[in-house]
Structures are given as structure tokens and as C-alpha cells.
Amino acid sequence: MALRRLAALLVVFAWFGAAEAQAPGGPPAVGVVRVTRQTVTETSEFIGRIQAVDRVALTARVTAFLEQRLFVEGAEVKEGDLLYRLERPPFEAAVAQQEAAVADASARLANANIQLARAQSLLNTPAGQRSAVDDAIAAQRSQAAQVASAQAQLRIAHINLAYTDIHAPISGKISRTNISVGNVVSPGAGPLASIVSQDPMYVLFPIAVRAEIDLEKRYRDQGGMSAVVIRLRLPDGTLYGQTGQVDYIEPSVQATTDTILMRGKIANPPLKPVETDKPVDRPLIDGQFVTVLVEGIQPVEALGVPRAAVLSDQQGDYVYLVDSQNRVEQRRVQLGQSTPSTAVIMAGLNEGDMVVLEGIQRVRPGIQVVPGPAAPPPAAPKAAGQ
């Protein structure tokens, strides 16, 4: 008995749902758009990651106390800027010591030259001996070697003294310091800080081998992958205002994913004027995930509908059509290379077909509707990074 009552209630609810779908005043109203031939720029979307072009870990080259930090953490530095200063007196003393060693060796060499000249002048006299000349030559050459060794040690001392000033090898944004002033640093103490370049940036994105071959074929006559333009969609959905170019394609395929890695280079200008010793905000950040849009440089003519009109299920993509009797029909479609706002239709629709864009949730195949023009799409959001 309870099962019969439950079945009856379900039938009543279903009837009310159908009545609501049809609406008391008649068939539901929907907004439709006409399938037209449009000029579109073919676009392929991939998930990519931003990567700095240059990255440097700053490491001490000598062992000494860290005396000064001369940068603002998180700010941008220029190539050649002085970042850290280590204690100098021990290395200055080493330079002075080696200079004294060079002077001493030079004096000994001068004396050896005098002794050699004297021995050679006495060689043709009764007091001269050949062995004395040979000994003088050996002593002179030994002292010359001592001078060369002392000069080399002096150069090493100057190099070590120069290592007490740590300069920026590249321009970019510097991280926080890992070792504070007053600690002893050494080559084995680890990085003091790191610098990552900011402009331009790389964007790396893997694509399926089949998609890469398709792109190569499509743009072969225009110069291959050099004929495509890279755009980025940031994590907040805004379209980045700068464009880039593909500059590298990995020579091997990832065996586990059957993808090939591509890399593009794109500008990353600051969002506002740069102030000295202040952090600089830029749209692209090293390690950031973005959506990569690979676009052709020349638009093509194709049938197109708004992307919002295309639905998907396990069988593929489809749209709802409204026929001449205002009845709804489900039509399977094959999509081509589309844009973020327009779906390019390769098969399934004809020019002039009416596609449901608004009120899709109120329609199903076979019902009658009241079609009307769909509202125009909203203005595109302003691109970031202009």
C-alpha cells in the first residue's frame, strides 16, 4: 500500500514539473542565435607555467663574517649592484703580505741577475770558472720562478679580496636573505639569496604530439610554429595584454604522457612606475600557472556560434536547434580550433540554423518553444598588463 502511495506521489510531482516546464502561459521562451560564417582566429588552449629566463643563487666565494646587506628584500636589483659586503681586513692584510713577498722575490732576482753578470764577466779571466756561471744561471732562474709564484699568490689575494663584495650577476627580483648580518659565511654555507629575472619571461606548456603535428601542418606555409602568437589567460580569468612567440620545442617526447614540451617568450612589464628600493609588481610571476592560447596570425572563415551554446556529455559536443515549427532538436556537432568566445563548427550545423543560447536549462528535445533574439554578449574584460 505504501509503495502505491509513493508511486502516486512521484507521478503527481512529475506532472507538476512538466507543467512548470511548459509554464502556465504556454511554451518557454528562449534566446536564439543564427549560425553564421565568421572571421575567427584559430586558437588552441593549453595549461602552462611561467618560468624566469635567468635564475642565480648568490653564494659566498670566501669564508668571512657578513658585515652588510645592501638591498631591500623583494625589490628588483640591477646587474652589478653591490648586495653583500664581507669583512675585508684579513684579505687586505693577505694582499699586503703577498705584495711584500713579491718585493722580496724581486730583490733576490735582482741580486741573482747581478751575480750572473759578474760570473759571466769573469769567465774569460784566470779567476773565472764555468761552474760558477752555471750556478749563477740556476740561481737566477730559480729566483725568477719565485717572483712568478709570488705574483700569482698576489693575484689570488686580490681575487679573494674582491670576493668580499658580492654583486648582482643579473638583473631581477631578489629574494629574502637566508643568512643575517654577523654570521660567518663560506662556500659551503648555502645560498645567501636568489635572483630571478623578470622581463621577459618564459612560459612552458606540454601539448599532445598529435596537436603539435596538427599545428605544424596548419602553419607550415606561414613559417611553422614561428607563425603563431602566444597569449595568456591569467588565473583570475583576465586576458594578458602582451603577446609572445614560440622560441623552443623539446627535441624528445615524454614517454609517459605522449606530450612534447614547448616554450614561448613573452614580455613582463611592471604594472606601475618603478620606484627605487621598492618592490615591483609585474603580472607574471615565476612558477605561476596560466592558460596558454596559441593563435594563428591570420584569421579564417568558418561557421561559428557562441561557446555558451555548446554543451557536452559522454558522447561529445552538441547544441539545441529550433526548427521552423519552433520545436527543439538536439544536434551533435564537431568543433574545430575555436576562440575563447566563439566555437568553430566543423560539422553538424548549416549556415542559418537557429541555436538556443539563452534558456538552455528549460529545453529538451521535442518540446515547443517561443524563440527570440538572444541578448548581445557582454563586453570583453580588459586585458591585464597593458
CATH number at residue 244: 2.40.30.170
**Domain membership flag for residue 9:** no
Same domain, 110 and 150: yes
CA-CA distance, 43 to 338, in Å (whole number)? 5
Q: Any idea of the CA torsion for 119, 120, 122, 125, to the nearest 10 degrees?
A: 140
Highest mean pLDDT out of 122-136, 194-208, 241-255: 194-208
**Domain membership flag for residue 224:** yes
Which of 237, 270, 296 is where one domain is finished?
296
pLDDT of 292 strictly over 50? yes
The HSE-up count of residue 380 (CA atoms within 13 Å, CB side) is 12
Q: What is the pLDDT of residue 3?
A: 46
Same domain, 94 and 78: no
Domain count, the chain: 4
Tens-place pLDDT, residues 333-374: 887 766 667 777 878 888 888 888 888 888 888 888 888 787
| Average of per-residue pLDDT across 195-201 | 91
Same domain, 257 and 310: no
Which of 140, 162, 184 is where one domain is finished?
162
3-state SS assignment for residue 51: strand
Same domain, 181 and 242: no
Same domain, 186 and 208: no
Q: Which domain holds residue 184?
A: 60-86+168-196
Question: Cell numbers at residue 211, please?
Answer: 596537436
The pTM for the full model equals 0.64
**Domain membership flag for residue 10:** no
Cis peptide before 187 (omega within 30 of 0): no
**Domain membership flag for residue 107:** yes
Q: Are 199 and 267 in contact (CB under 8 A)?
A: yes
Largest Cα–Cα separation, the chain: 147
CATH number at residue 325: 2.40.420.20
Same domain, 215 and 290: yes
**Other beta carbons within 10 Å of 147:** 21
Same domain, 216 and 291: yes
State the pLDDT confidence band at 378, using cuts at 50, 70 and 90: low
- Looking at the chain, list the stretches that DSSP marks H as alpha helix, in order from N- to C-terminal side: 2-22, 89-122, 130-162, 209-218
Spatial strand order of the sheet with 165-167 comes to: 165-167, 82-86, 64-69, 184-185
Q: What is the pLDDT of residue 258?
A: 84
CATH number at residue 79: 2.40.50.100
> CA triplet 202, 203, 207: central angle to 5 degrees?
140
CATH number at residue 154: 1.10.287
Q: What is the pLDDT of residue 319?
A: 87
Q: Are 204 and 49 in contact (CB under 8 A)?
A: yes
**Domain membership flag for residue 269:** yes
